[in-house]
């Protein structure tokens, strides 16, 4: 009895092994000269699952728009190698090496700066360039020459938010909540605090531990400390709970957040509730009608895509960024004139591309040269974002 | 040769309201075989546990070779609801208590009523492990085999001990796979491996057939002489007790009711009452 | 049945172990270093070490402790903090929001040792109160301590040392390891195997020493052990500290392997993972733990990944999507736990002798059948 | 008054979360009392109850979906016991505990698979999700309902255990497994009932908990689960009132800690509390001491 079951287990494993090798085999086999592989290093689960999926959707849509690329006259099929880094730093290294061993020429991602920082060195060790899509923490590209990114950075975003809070909202005391051990939120809060205090405001900072779902006390803290804006650039998971608590405790202060909150998840959480949410973002829906409509139709065409996009066809900025990142990668490939990752690496610094989210070019640090951010305000009646005029900090 | 090796003075063990051992005083002299008998639940094993440090007596003093190994007097909550006798006698004395391993270190080894061999180990390892205490080594030298000589010595001695107890043929068998009687003998061998001066046997003959019991008597005498031991045992097999023991202590309900040579004890009314119970109109 | 001489046995085992290392180095020469195979081998070796260290505690001393992740964390951080070059400590590339308080750095070998010692030191302190508790209470208390350690390392008052809760990086990771006195990079997988191998070897030596026997005695029957003069607390503490020492070292290796390390990852889930490895391998079997950890890592990181990939969906039903791998994986684990609760090796060891005897028995059986066949003619 | 003004929110939150913890902790303490097993999967059963509510309420009206959730959760708990624990009854306790960990692993991964790793919004239940204001502190009705409901359920449970036949059997089994088996008590029935009760309370707990913190993720069961076990140990594992009191203490303490700004340690504190109590009183507040005979 036991023996047979043991055998069954072994059989399962063996089968899995074969299949696994088969998988690898097939991928390596298709590594022939007619296909170029682009790695998609995104979370499909964990805290940043939602955002990661939307970013991946953008990339996939771009891939569906132009599935091939001409490099030195020869046409290559672009094959996306997707891996789930589970939004966790310890999985990032192995997830990254999965892509590396699949033999990708370049990598896109990841949503969430922590995983990007954690995965970066693996790509660096393998000499594969990575194009960060929405990872805004400076540390992502800092000290990692293989990491580029097409989005603005947190110091910039932080300043924009601080200015918005101080000047537009006219608040003087901010409650800043970040997630413990999350570089994105910690970083952004830090830059916000710097900028906000420079302007003459006060800040109360606080952190919540991983896996925390009880935000009662945090909102209560903000109230009892007499803060008049609640700044929490955290993952969408936490965002829902925070919005919920703010409503539940009838707190009147506006909520302010970074690009992560630019997601229909938030809209759904806020819809029909008495809450005032503003976020900064890369791309406001409607800025590029052609892209929007194309994306919407593509998303609506498939149930899984729709669910990955959070159940409706709202165009989130991350999708737009993913779309741009893909084309930037293609442009780099064209410049490189080869699918060899080293060549792509060499070509990237002077690759430019005019995307739906604006002009993309890299500075010596590998960061995008951007000076524009958009502020969106959640309309709780319609459950949609209202774009406010773009903010430029030169 | 009346050199006392173990002395209990007014030892009382009280659990909550129950006085398991009440004011027990007894003495075991060097080279003797002394038996502690009594009806079930008389508190024999509890007395053993007080000696070996498993329990800390509520009151009284235990000394081994005139060195106090356990001394206590009721304090804390016990002070109020102490039900034993001579509660005040040891007030002035400072309490002494050792963990069992220290007691063993001093040279008192024991066996258990319900055999407690190390299940997963072979006969050889059971005895060898008991030698660990006396080995001159530390974890570093032991791990990196810097004390290989010591290890070798332990193994040889174990070998010899098994030989002597003619357990050698079971050398590599699992201890628990042995027949019951043999397991008891092994447990004694294991106790001997700690090089004791005083050996406490808790019902060594329990579950043995008459034949084995007979052998056991000889066996106990034998090890006593070979290892220069003093033996203190709890036993129910009266014929065995009468046959081997020099002196006998009888306790009932935790109290000592009689002691002396087998003959004396055999003809003592209290003992007979204790075992057979007293008739109402007696 | 032919007997196997002790000498021959030891030789064969030595050869067997040597073979493993030779194979690893050969693989490392011929297969491109980017292959997922090495990722699995490295992580496998690291988990093997921590699993064995946990087995020393749970399997051989019978102390059900769930603190492993905490000690790995200490090891990982100690290593990261001490090997990070001063130059980097001074810039804001890692210590962005704090000024690093540690004004020096050191080579990887002393740092690894230190990692172990740091974990051991903590274990010594924790052990004194905790080891008085029995089975489940001990488990939950150690688990609690692991959580507390994690919180302390994330505390921003300690930021100047631990960089708050943010990632530690740019310390000496595997790609920086050079063969001593030369400038030739050390083959990373081989390096991990060497360190892990040495540590496991030491643990094995300990288990087979007089102290190892004492540990087993405590596991089998505490009361008897104490009655035979084995000081319970001393030996439990010993086992606890040694186990933590090696957990710390494996933590350091993990840090080297991952390039970045962060307190947030050392959750109880990690301890459970290690515990599962121990159980799958067989509680009380070192070789079991090793085999299990490689299987475990290979399955979770490599062989089953295709289950996450919808492009391998057969006959139209899209059961294969992100997360399916884990479902299958946990089902396999449940099967093992339920139906082979002794694990792969039980409490036996994978030894030359056992293999030899198996072969002999097989041979004998064959002879038997042949004979019978002949008689039937 | 101002003190109350500032601290009331924390205390309220503490009491409500404490009540929710209590409902889960009872499951732990009962199972442990009878099987001497830390049922690591209990937290995930709780999480699944929440997830089921999400799915059911999407397809059927509330008045139907709530009982459905209770029933299915109970079935889940029952099934887990039968499949994962019953076969290992004679096995060493270690391997049963491993089995529990395995089940929790499985439940989490299944949740991960079905939700696609995304947080699910918990449906808003009528009335108890409404907000109320007491002495200037605004909160949800559930915050006030929870402790009341908890206490009621506990009273019912205690009566059940003190008065009914099955309750008597439970007490007997938790005293001495073998003997009660010999006395002809149907062990398996008792154990199943224990799991049923445990899961039912967990389901109720999930209704209250997720109404407060309205998003369900695959891991949202693990931390509460752990804390509830701690609560059970804290109160003296095996004792129901102990578990309840322990849960309330832990719930209130962790919220006050957060209020004091020690948010980093809000989880760690729970464990610190546990360790302290274990060292001072190894059997918890209300646990009885058991001595092994020599």
The DSSP code sequence of chain D is -HHHHHHHHHHHHHHHHHHHHHHHHHHHHHHHHHH----TTHHHHHHHHHHHHHHHHHHS-HHHHHHHHHHHHHHHHHHHIIIIIGGGTTS-HHHHHHHHHHHHHHHHHHHHHHHTTPPEEPPPPTTTTSEEEETTEEEEHHHHHHHHHHHHHHHHHHHHHHHSHHHHHHHHHHH-HHHHHHTT--HHHHHHHHHHHHHHHHHHHHHHHHHHS-EE-TTTTHHHHHHHHHHHHHT-TT-HHHHHHHHHHHHHHHHHHHHTT-GGGHHHHHHHHHHHHHHHSTTTTTPPP-----
ipTM of the complex: 0.88
How far A305 CA sits from the closest chain D CA (Å)? 12
Cβ proximity of C253 and C198 under 8 Å: no
Instruction: Using pLDDT thresholds of 50, 70 and 90, give the confidence band for residue A265.
Output: confident
Asked if the structure places residue D289 within a domain, the reply is no
Confidence (pLDDT) at C2: 62
User: Could you give the CA distance from residue D293 to residue B116 in angstroms, rounded to a whole number?
Assistant: 12
Cβ proximity of C199 and C249 under 8 Å: yes
Helix axes C268-281, D93-115, angle to 10 degrees: 120
D21-56 confidence digits (pLDDT tens): 999 999 999 998 888 888 889 999 999 999 999 999
Helix, strand or coil for residue A174?
strand
User: Could you give the CA distance from residue C319 to residue C342 in angstroms, rounded to a whole number?
Assistant: 32
Helix, strand or coil for residue C231?
coil
D61 close to A (CB below 8 A): no
Cβ proximity of B116 and B93 under 8 Å: no
Helix, strand or coil for residue A228?
coil
What CATH homologous superfamily does A2-152+288-362 map to? Response regulator (3.40.50.2300)
Looking at beta carbons, which residues of chain A come within 8 Å of C312? Answer: 19, 23
Instruction: Using pLDDT thresholds of 50, 70 and 90, give the confidence band for residue D290.
Output: low
Confidence (pLDDT) at A92: 86
User: Which residues are CB-neighbours of B233 under 8 A, at least 6 positions away?
Assistant: B33, B34, B35, B36, B200, B201, B202, B203, B204, B220, B241, B245
Residue B32's nearest CA partner among B11, B52, B62, B5 is: B5
Closest residue of C to B110, CA-based? C227
User: Could you give the CA distance from residue B93 to residue B91 in angstroms, rounded to a whole number?
Assistant: 6
Closest residue of D to C271, CA-based? D101
How far C265 CA sits from the closest chain B CA (Å)? 33
Indicate the residue of A50, A209, A213 with minimum beta-carbon distance to D220: A213
pLDDT at A33 over 70: no
Closest residue of D to B15, CA-based? D291
Residues recorded for chain A: 394
Cβ proximity of C54 and C275 under 8 Å: yes
Q: What percent of chain A has pLDDT over 70?
A: 91
User: Could you give the CA distance from residue C37 to residue C297 in angstroms, rounded to a whole number?
Assistant: 11
Helix, strand or coil for residue B67?
strand
Cβ proximity of A255 and A243 under 8 Å: yes
A212 close to D (CB below 8 A): yes
Q: Could you give the number of structural domains in chain D?
A: 1
Instruction: Using pLDDT thresholds of 50, 70 and 90, give the confidence band for residue C49.
Output: very high
Helix axes D2-35, D141-163, angle to 10 degrees: 30
Instruction: Using pLDDT thresholds of 50, 70 and 90, give the confidence band for residue A19.
Output: very low
Looking at beta carbons, which residues of chain B come within 8 Å of C220? Answer: 118-121
Cβ proximity of A155 and A184 under 8 Å: no
All chains having 3 or more CB pairs closer than 8 angstroms to chain B: C, D
User: Which of 3.40.640.10, 3.30.70.100, 3.40.50.2300, 3.40.50.300 is the CATH number of A154-281+374-392?
Assistant: 3.40.50.2300
pLDDT at C251 over 50: yes
Cβ burial, residue D171 (10 Å; 0-12/13-18/19+): middle
Alpha helices in C31-67 (DSSP H): 36-55
Cβ proximity of C53 and C277 under 8 Å: no
Q: For A104-167, give the DSSP string.
A: -SEEEE-SSHHHHHHHHHHHHHTT--EEESS---GGGTTT-TTEEESS--HHHHHHHHHHIIII
Cβ proximity of A87 and A182 under 8 Å: no
pLDDT at D88 over 90: no
- Interface touch C335/A117, C-beta < 8 Å: no
D67-85 confidence digits (pLDDT tens): 999 999 999 999 999 999 9
Instruction: Using pLDDT thresholds of 50, 70 and 90, give the confidence band for residue C308.
Output: confident
Give residues 113 to 152 of B whose Cβ lies within 8 Å of C. Answer: 116-121, 125, 128-135, 137, 139, 142-145, 150-151
Give residues 118 to 147 of A whose Cβ lies within 8 Å of D. Answer: none
Q: What percent of chain D has pLDDT over 70?
A: 95
Residue A66: count other Cβ atoms within 10 Å of its Cβ.
11
**Quick one: tokens of C290?**
């090793």
Looking at beta carbons, which residues of chain B come within 8 Å of D294? Answer: 45, 49, 54, 112
User: Which residues are CB-neighbours of D262 under 8 A, at least 6 positions away?
Assistant: D269
Name beta bridge partners: C185: C178
User: Could you give the CA distance from residue D215 to residue D47 in angstroms, rounded to a whole number?
Assistant: 10
Residue ranges of domains in chain A: 2-152+288-362, 154-281+374-392
User: Could you give the CA distance from residue C325 to residue C315 in angstroms, rounded to a whole number?
Assistant: 18
Q: For B234-260, give the DSSP string.
A: E---HHHHHHH-SEEEEEETTEEEEEE
C176-215 confidence digits (pLDDT tens): 888 878 888 888 899 999 999 999 999 999 999 999 999 9
User: Could you give the CA distance from residue A174 to residue A229 in angstroms, rounded to a whole number?
Assistant: 5
How far A55 CA sits from the closest chain D CA (Å)? 14
All chains having 3 or more CB pairs closer than 8 angstroms to chain A: C, D
**B50 Cα distance to chain centroid:** 10
Question: What torsion do the CA atoms of D265, D266, D271, D277 make, to the nearest 10 degrees?
Answer: 110
Asked if the structure places residue D147 within a domain, the reply is yes
Sign of CA dihedral C40, C45, C47, C48: positive
Instruction: Using pLDDT thresholds of 50, 70 and 90, give the confidence band for residue A191.
Output: very high
User: Which of 1.50.10, 1.10.10, 1.10.3470, 1.25.40 is the CATH number of C31-310+325-346?
Assistant: 1.10.3470
**Quick one: tokens of D16?**
């409500």
Question: What is the span of the domain harbouring residue D83?
Answer: 2-280
B112 close to C (CB below 8 A): yes
- Interface touch D121/A223, C-beta < 8 Å: no
D280 close to C (CB below 8 A): no
Evaluate whether chains B and A are touching (3 or more beta carbon pairs less than 8 Å apart): no
Confidence (pLDDT) at C115: 96
Closest residue of D to A85, CA-based? D117
- Interface touch D138/A216, C-beta < 8 Å: no
The CATH number assigned to the domain holding D72 equals 1.10.3470
Q: How would you write the pLDDT of chain B (282 residues) with one tens digit per residue?
A: 578 899 999 999 988 888 899 889 999 999 999 999 988 888 899 999 999 999 999 999 999 998 999 999 888 777 888 887 887 888 888 889 999 999 999 999 999 988 999 999 999 999 999 999 998 899 999 999 898 899 999 999 999 999 988 888 998 999 989 988 889 989 999 999 999 999 999 999 888 888 888 888 888 999 999 899 999 999 888 888 888 999 999 998 888 888 889 888 888 888 888 877 765 544
C230 close to B (CB below 8 A): yes
User: Could you give the CA distance from residue B181 to residue B184 in angstroms, rounded to a whole number?
Assistant: 5
Q: Hey, do A2-152+288-362 and A154-281+374-392 end up sharing a CATH topology, with the first three levels equal?
A: yes
pLDDT at A15 over 70: no
Distances (CA, A) of B221 to B225, B229, B240, B244, B246: 6, 9, 12, 8, 11
Helix, strand or coil for residue B137?
coil
Instruction: Using pLDDT thresholds of 50, 70 and 90, give the confidence band for residue C377.
Output: low
Residues recorded for chain B: 282
Indicate the residue of B99, B105, B119 with minimum beta-carbon distance to C220: B119
A71-93 confidence digits (pLDDT tens): 888 889 999 988 888 888 878 88
User: Could you give the CA distance from residue C281 to residue C291 in angstroms, rounded to a whole number?
Assistant: 7
Confidence (pLDDT) at D68: 93
DSSP A362: B
CA-based max dimension of chain B: 74
Asked if the structure places residue D257 within a domain, the reply is yes
Closest residue of C to A188, CA-based? C97
B45 close to D (CB below 8 A): yes
Residue C189's nearest CA partner among C267, C349, C262, C297 is: C297
**Quick one: tokens of D208?**
């209250």
How far A206 CA sits from the closest chain D CA (Å)? 7
D89 close to C (CB below 8 A): no
User: Which residues are CB-neighbours of B150 under 8 A, at least 6 positions away?
Assistant: B135, B136, B137, C210
User: Could you give the CA distance from residue C167 to residue C161 in angstroms, rounded to a whole number?
Assistant: 12
Confidence (pLDDT) at D3: 65
User: Could you give the CA distance from residue C138 to residue C57 in angstroms, rounded to a whole number?
Assistant: 12
Instruction: Using pLDDT thresholds of 50, 70 and 90, give the confidence band for residue D90.
Output: confident
All chains having 3 or more CB pairs closer than 8 angstroms to chain D: A, B, C
- Interface touch C205/B120, C-beta < 8 Å: no
Angle at alpha carbon of residue D265, lines to D259 and D266, rounded to 5°: 55
B115 close to D (CB below 8 A): no
Q: At B183, which helix (H) or strand (E)?
A: helix B180-193
- Interface touch D230/C144, C-beta < 8 Å: yes
User: Could you give the CA distance from residue A10 to residue C340 in angstroms, rounded to a whole number?
Assistant: 12
User: Could you give the CA distance from residue C345 to residue C347 in angstroms, rounded to a whole number?
Assistant: 6
Looking at beta carbons, which residues of chain D come within 8 Å of C341? Answer: 88, 91, 95
């Amino acid at each position: 009895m036991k023996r047979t079951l043991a055998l069954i287990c072994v059989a399962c494993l063996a089968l899995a092994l074969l299949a696994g090798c088969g998988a690898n085999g097939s991928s390596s086999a298709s590594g022939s000269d007619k296909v170029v592989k682009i790695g998609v290093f995104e979370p499909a689960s964990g805290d940043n699952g939602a955002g990661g999926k939307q970013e991946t959707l953008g990339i996939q849509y771009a891939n569906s728009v132009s599935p091939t690329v001409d490099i030195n006259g020869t046409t290559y099929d672009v094959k996306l190698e997707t891996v789930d880094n589970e939004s966790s730093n310890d999985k990032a290294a192995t997830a990254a090496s999965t892509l590396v061993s699949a033999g990708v020429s370049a990598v896109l991602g990841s949503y969430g700066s922590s995983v990007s920082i954690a995965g970066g060195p693996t790509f660096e060790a393998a000499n594969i360039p990575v194009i960060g899509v929405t990872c805004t923490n400076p540390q992502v590209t800092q000290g990692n020459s293989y990491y580029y990114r097409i989005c603005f950075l947190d110091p910039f975003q932080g300043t924009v938010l601080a200015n918005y809070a101080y000047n537009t909202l006219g608040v003087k005391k901010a409650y800043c909540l970040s997630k413990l051990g999350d570089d994105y939120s910690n970083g952004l809060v830090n830059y916000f605090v710097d900028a906000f205090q420079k302007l003459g405001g006060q800040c109360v900072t606080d952190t919540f531990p991983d896996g925390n779902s009880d935000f009662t006390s945090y909102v209560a803290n903000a109230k009892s400390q007499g803060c008049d804006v609640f700044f929490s650039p955290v993952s969408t998971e936490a965002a829902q709970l925070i919005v919920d608590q703010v409503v539940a405790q009838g707190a009147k202060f506006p909520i302010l957040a970074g690009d992560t909150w630019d997601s229909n998840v938030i809209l759904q959480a806020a819809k029909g509730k008495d809450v005032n949410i503003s976020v900064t973002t890369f791309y406001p829906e409607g800025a590029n009608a052609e892209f929007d409509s194309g994306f919407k139709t593509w998303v609506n065409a498939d149930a899984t895509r729709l669910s990955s996009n959070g159940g409706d066809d709202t165009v989130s900025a991350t999708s737009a960024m993913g779309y741009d990142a893909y084309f930037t990668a293609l442009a780099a490939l064209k410049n490189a004139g080869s699918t060899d990752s080293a060549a792509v690496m060499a070509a990237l610094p002077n690759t430019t591309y005019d995307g739906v989210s604006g002009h993309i070019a890299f500075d010596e640090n590998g960061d995008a040269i951007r000076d524009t951010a958009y502020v969106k305000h959640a309309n709780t009646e319609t459950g949609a974002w209202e774009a406010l005029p773009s903010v430029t900090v030169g | 040769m009346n050199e006392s090796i173990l002395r209990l003075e007014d030892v009382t063990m009280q659990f909550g309201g129950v006085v398991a051992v009440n004011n027990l005083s007894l003495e075991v002299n060097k080279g003797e075989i002394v038996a502690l008998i009594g009806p079930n639940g008389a508190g024999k094993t509890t007395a053993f546990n007080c000696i070996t440090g498993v329990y800390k007596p509520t009151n009284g003093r235990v000394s081994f070779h005139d060195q106090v190994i356990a001394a206590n007097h009721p304090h804390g909550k016990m002070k109020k609801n102490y039900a034993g006798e001579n509660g005040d006698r040891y007030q002035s004395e400072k309490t002494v208590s050792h963990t069992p391993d220290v007691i063993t270190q001093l040279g008192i080894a024991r066996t258990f009523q319900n055999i407690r061999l190390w299940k997963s180990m072979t006969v050889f390892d059971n005895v060898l492990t008991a030698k660990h205490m006396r080995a001159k080594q530390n974890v570093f030298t032991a791990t990196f085999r810097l004390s290989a000589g010591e290890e070798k010595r332990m193994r040889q001695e174990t070998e010899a001990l098994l030989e002597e107890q003619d357990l050698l043929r079971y050398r590599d068998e699992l201890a628990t796979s042995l027949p019951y009687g043999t397991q008891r003998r092994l447990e004694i061998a294991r106790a001997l491996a700690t090089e004791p001066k005083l050996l406490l046997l808790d019902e060594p003959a329990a579950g043995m057939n008459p034949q084995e019991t007979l052998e056991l008597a000889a066996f106990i005498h034998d090890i006593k002489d070979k290892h220069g031991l003093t033996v203190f045992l709890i036993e129910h097999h009266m014929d065995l007790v009468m046959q081997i023991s020099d002196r006998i202590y009888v306790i009932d309900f935790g109290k000592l009711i009689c002691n002396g040579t087998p003959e004396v004890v055999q003809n003592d009314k209290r003992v007979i009452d204790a075992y057979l119970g007293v008739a109402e109109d007696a | 049945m032919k007997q196997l001489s002790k000498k021959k046995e030891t030789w064969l085992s030595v050869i067997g172990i040597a073979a493993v290392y030779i194979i690893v180095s050969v693989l490392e020469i011929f297969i491109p270093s980017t292959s997922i195979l090495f990722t699995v081998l490295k992580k496998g070796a690291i988990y093997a070490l921590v699993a064995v260290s946990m087995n020393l505690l749970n399997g051989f001393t019978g102390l059900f402790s769930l603190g492993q992740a905490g000690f790995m964390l200490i090891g990982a951080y100690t290593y990261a903090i001490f090997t990070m070059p001063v130059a980097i400590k001074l810039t804001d590339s890692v210590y962005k929001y704090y000024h690093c308080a540690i004004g020096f750095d050191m080579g990887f070998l002393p740092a690894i040792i230190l990692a172990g010692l740091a974990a051991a030191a903590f274990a010594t302190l924790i052990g004194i109160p905790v080891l008085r508790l029995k089975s489940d209470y001990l488990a939950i208390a150690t688990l609690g301590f692991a959580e507390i350690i994690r919180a302390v390392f994330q505390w921003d008052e300690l930021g100047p040392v631990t960089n708050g809760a943010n990632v530690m990086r740019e310390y000496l990771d595997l790609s920086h390891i050079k063969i001593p006195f030369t400038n030739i990079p050390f083959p990373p997988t081989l390096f991990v195997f060497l360190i892990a191998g040495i540590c496991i070897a030491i643990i094995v030596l300990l288990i087979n020493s007089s102290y190892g026997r004492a540990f087993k005695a405590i596991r089998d029957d505490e009361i008897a052990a104490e009655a035979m003069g084995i000081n319970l607390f001393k030996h439990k503490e010993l086992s606890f500290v040694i186990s933590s020492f090696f957990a710390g070292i494996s933590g350091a290796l993990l840090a080297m392997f991952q390039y970045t390390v962060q307190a947030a990852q050392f959750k109880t889930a990690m301890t459970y993972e290690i515990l599962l490895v121990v159980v799958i391998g067989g509680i009380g079997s070192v070789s079991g733990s090793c085999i299990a950890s490689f299987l475990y890592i290979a399955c979770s990181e490599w062989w089953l990944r295709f289950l996450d990939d919808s492009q391998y969906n057969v006959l139209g039903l899209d059961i294969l999507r992100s997360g399916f791998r884990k479902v299958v994986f946990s089902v396999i684990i449940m099967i093992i736990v339920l139906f082979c609760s002794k694990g792969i090796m039980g409490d036996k060891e994978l030894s030359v002798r056992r293999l030899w005897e198996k072969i002999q028995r097989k041979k004998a059986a064959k002879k038997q059948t042949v004979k019978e066949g002949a008689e039937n003619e | 008054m101002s003190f109350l003004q500032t601290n009331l929110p924390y205390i309220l939150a503490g009491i409500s979360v404490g009540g929710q913890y209590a409902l889960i902790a009872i499951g732990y303490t009962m199972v442990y009392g009878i099987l001497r097993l830390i049922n690591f999967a209990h937290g995930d059963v709780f999480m699944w109850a929440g997830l089921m509510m999400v799915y059911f309420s999407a397809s059927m009206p509330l008045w139907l979906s709530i009982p459905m959730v209770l029933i299915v959760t109970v079935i889940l708990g029952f099934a887990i016991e039968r499949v994962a624990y019953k076969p290992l009854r004679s096995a060493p306790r270690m391997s049963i505990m491993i089995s529990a960990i395995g089940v929790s692993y499985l439940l989490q991964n299944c949740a991960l698979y079905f939700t696609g790793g995304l947080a699910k919004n918990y449906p808003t239940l009528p009335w108890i999700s409404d907000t109320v204001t007491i002495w200037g502190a605004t909160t949800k009705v559930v915050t006030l309902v929870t402790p009341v409901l908890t206490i009621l359920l506990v009273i019912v449970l205690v009566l059940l255990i003190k008065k009914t036949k099955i309750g008597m059997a439970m007490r007997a089994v938790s005293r001495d497994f073998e003997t009660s088996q010999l006395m002809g008590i149907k062990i398996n029935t008792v154990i199943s009932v224990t799991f049923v009760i445990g899961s039912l309370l967990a389901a109720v707990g999930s209704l209250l908990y997720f109404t407060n913190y309205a998003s369900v993720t695959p891991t949202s069961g693990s931390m509460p689960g752990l804390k509830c076990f701690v609560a059970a140990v804290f109160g003296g594992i095996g004792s129901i009132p102990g578990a309840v009191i322990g849960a309330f203490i832990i719930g209130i303490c962790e919220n006050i800690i957060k209020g004091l700004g020690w948010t980093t340690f809000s989880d760690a504190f729970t464990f610190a509390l546990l360790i302290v109590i274990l060292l001072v009183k190894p059997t918890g507040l209300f646990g009885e001491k058991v001595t092994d005979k020599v």
